[in-house]
A and B are shown apart, each in its own frame.
Chain A
């Protein structure tokens, strides 16, 4: 076998530069849309990690919402607005909660895993809806973000969050790309295909699943935090099951075979949604549904499968 030269890493750096250069030409609404898409792309990337292991989480909204609310609460209650500190707190809370839930979830597979993840996310939704301090169903507004003592002007805040999101997203993509190629990344697919053999190769599938679940939770929480920063608002809807379903939708749309596929999926999803909403304000979901049907019928492995197959640069 020839080892195919992997150009993914290089392409990701190029794409990052392109996105950064776009800062200066794209209109504000498109910058906003792209930021949200990248943030959601991160959530879906985590979901894709689980799906490659054969597990569909219908509850990534839990961590997406957690990230958003951590940023919101830290800003309004504790006066913390520095993005680095905010992300650190977000990641730590995501790790703690996902470790706890993961210990239970890693025992379950298939529909049981999916339903349990959804249940946990709906519990958070229920709590938030009943919390009047946190604005109940309306949610609340987020303090503008700052970076190391520097507070950008409100008008240009969106642009800075965009640039920050681009850099962060692509750094994460580089890491996850390496991860997909590593033995641990391969073990995901191995578990999906034959858990018994993995056990007899001396590895605990449960521990691997737990680790993946925690990484996916961290990615989802970072996505939620970024979304909160750019939208300036959070509400319990982020933990509602339809939000989690949207992430599954994007994973199917983009595909899960390559690290960049969820990002591409998320961007296309946001574009379709924006235009569908413009085109048919009362029935835009039908357009999304039709798009999903077409994908399932014609591209069961997502849009990424349109690219020439080359075993995805050493990934599986």
Chain B
């Protein structure tokens, strides 16, 4: 279990970092998400589970502005952020990683990291000062070290192993010191025996920044180990939202999700072998 130090200063009145009210998304006749009501508090580590097509990624895409909700509102610290663009949401303090790592494939890992720092910190792009200075390079290397991937700093991203790309993707999301971090399947495509090491690294980094974190995951062992709370999606709706131990024994969760995941596992391990 992860012990969380909490953000630097807690407010006396607890304001939810993220609150969604009646969030829905329909694509024509298909309802991808229906009436999603979620409250995420500062510093929480929330696992999101559900089988494929249950609405997990749709939810993340709506919160981060990639998709506009058909209905409902999204509040970030009581501020309505519904319908803002991804970059506005990023600037507000919500960052995300992607199921398929979204990087700059022809640049080196170090350049990716340096760009992430510079763009996230300096919205006006910092004029004519060079991007790669001794200071910015050292800082990027330092950050890659935190994720244990500094040996790849000069490698072009397109040549990197999947696990390294995933870590770099997450490192870039965290470079902006977000208050809320959304990780879309951080361990997908990563070999089974590397999953825990990857999550350990990620959680250490998350703790360092104190970001509230919401991660989508199919592996129940990972959910049990890292999440303090679980939100379970089924067919576009939330069927359970409870502390991890409680959610895991929820009959609906067991029937619709954990059962389905158990059937899914062997196939996946084969793919990763």
| Interface, chain A (partner B; CB < 8 A) | 1, 3, 178-179, 181-187, 189-190, 193-194, 196-204, 314, 316
Q: Which residues of A contact B91 (CB under 8 A)?
A: 202
Interface residues on B, range: 35 or more
A199 touches B115 (CB 8 A): no
Contact of B110 with A1 in the complex, beta carbons under 8 Å: yes
Given known pairs A183-B115, A189-B106, A200-B64, the reply for A1 and B126 (CB within 8 Å) is: no
B14 located at the interface, meaning its Cβ lies under 8 Å from any Cβ of chain A in the complex: no
**Is B107's CB under 8 angstroms from A189's CB?**
yes
Report yes or no: A197 in contact with B137, Cβ–Cβ below 8 A.
no
Q: With A and B bound together, what is the CA distance between A130 and B86 in angstroms? A: 47
Subset of 10 A-B contacts with CB under 8 Å: A182-B127, A183-B122, A190-B107, A190-B115, A193-B104, A194-B103, A194-B105, A197-B104, A200-B90, A201-B87
Contact with A along B82-125 (1 / 0, CB 8 A): 00011100110001101000111111101100011011101101
Question: Across the two chains, which residue of chain B brings its CB closest to A190?
Answer: B104
Assess whether A202 is in contact with B90, with CB atoms less than 8 Å apart.
yes
B104's closest neighbor in chain A, by CB? A193
Docked complex Cα distance between A244 and B132 (Å)? 34
A314 to B108, CA, bound (A): 12
| Whole-angstrom CA separation of A187 from B153 in the bound complex | 19
Closest chain B CB from A314 CB (angstroms) = 5
C-alpha spacing A37/B252, complex, angstroms:
73
Tell me if B160 counts as interface (CB < 8 A to partner A). Answer: no
Other A-B contacts than A185-B131, A199-B85, 10 sampled, CB-CB below 8 A, are A178-B130, A181-B132, A183-B119, A184-B125, A187-B115, A196-B86, A196-B102, A201-B115, A202-B87, A204-B85
A181 with B130: CB separation less than 8 A: yes
Asked if B5 is at the interface (CB within 8 A of a chain A CB), the reply is: no
A201 in contact with B154 (CB, 8 Å) = no
User: Which interface residue of B85, B130, B153, B173 has the most chain A CB atoms within 10 A?
Assistant: B130
Q: Is B1's beta carbon under 8 Å from chain A?
A: no
Q: Which residues of A contact B132 (CB under 8 A)?
A: 3, 181, 314
Cβ of B172 within 8 Å of any chain A Cβ, yes or no, is: yes
* Contact (Cβ within 8 A) A203 B131: no
- Contact of B125 with A187 in the complex, beta carbons under 8 Å: yes
The 4 closest A-B pairs by CB, nearest first: A201-B119, A202-B90, A193-B104, A181-B130
CA distance A43 to B81 in the complex (A): 43
Set A182, A186, A187, A189: member contacting B128, Cβ < 8 A? A182
- Chain A residue nearest to B132 (CB atoms) is A314
Closest to B88 in A: A202
A178-B130, A185-B131, A186-B115 as given contacts; A200 in contact with B137, CB under 8 Å: no
8 Å CB contact of B120 from A181, A185, A202, A316: A202
Query: Which residues B18-74 have CB closer than 8 A to chain A?
Result: 64
B106 and A193 contact, CB distance less than 8 A: yes
**A295 to B126 alpha-carbon distance, docked (Å):** 37
Residue pair B137, A3 in contact (C-beta under 8 Å): yes
Chain B window 120-150, contacts with chain A (Cβ cutoff 8 Å), 1 for yes, 0 for no: 1011011111111110010001000000000
Chain B's closest residue to A175 (CB) is B128
With most chain B CB atoms within 10 A of its CB, the pick from A182, A203, A204, A314 is: A203
Cα–Cα distance between A180 and B131 once the two chains are bound (Å): 9
In the bound complex, how far is the Cα of B100 from the Cα of A196, in angstroms?
12
- Provide the bound-state CA to CA distance between A179 and B128, in Å: 6
Q: Which of A181, A193, A201 has a CB less than 8 Å from the CB of B90?
A: A201
- CB distance A200 to B86 under 8 Å? yes
Cβ of B236 < 8 Å from any Cβ of A? no
**Which B residues are in CB contact (< 8 Å) with A189?**
104, 106-107
The answer to whether B154 touches A193 (Cβ under 8 A) is no
In whole angstroms, what is the CA distance A269 to B108 when docked? 33
CA distance A61 to B131 in the complex (A): 32
Query: Nearest-CB distance from B178 to chain A (Å)?
Result: 10
Give the residues in chain A near B96, CB-CB below 8 Å.
200
Residues of A within 8 A of B173 (CB): 200
**In the complex, which residues of chain B have a beta carbon less than 8 angstroms from the beta carbon of A184?**
125
B residues less than 8 Å from A316 (CB atoms):
107, 111
- Give every chain A residue within 8 A of B86 (Cβ-Cβ): 196, 199-200
Closest approach, in angstroms, between the C-beta of A156 and any C-beta of chain B?
A: 36
Which residue of chain A is the closest to B129 with respect to CB atoms?
A182
Q: What's the Cα separation between A253 and B64 when bound, in Å? A: 43
Q: State in angstroms the CA–CA spacing of A260 and B118 once bound together.
A: 26
User: Which residues on B sit within 8 Å (CB–CB) of A194?
Assistant: 102-105
Q: Is B210 an interface residue (CB 8 A)?
A: no
Q: A-facing mask of B225-241, CB < 8 A → 1, else 0?
A: 00000000000000000
- Let me know if B163 is at the binding interface, CB within 8 A: no
Quick check: A178 and B131 within 8 Å, CB to CB?
no
User: In this complex, what residue of B is CB-closest to A185?
Assistant: B131
Q: Which residues of B contact A203 (CB under 8 A)?
A: 87, 119, 123, 125
Question: Is there a chain A Cβ closer than 8 Å to B176's Cβ?
Answer: yes
Query: Shortest CB–CB separation between residue A206 and chain B, in angstroms?
Result: 10
A193 engages B131 (CB within 8 Å): no
Pick the residue among B102, B106, B134 that contacts A3 (CB under 8 A): B134
**Nearest CB to that of A191 among chain B residues?**
B104
The residue of chain A having its C-beta at the shortest distance from the C-beta of B126 within the complex is A183
**How close is A16's CB to chain B, nearest CB, in angstroms?**
20
Cα–Cα, bound, A3→B140 (Å): 13
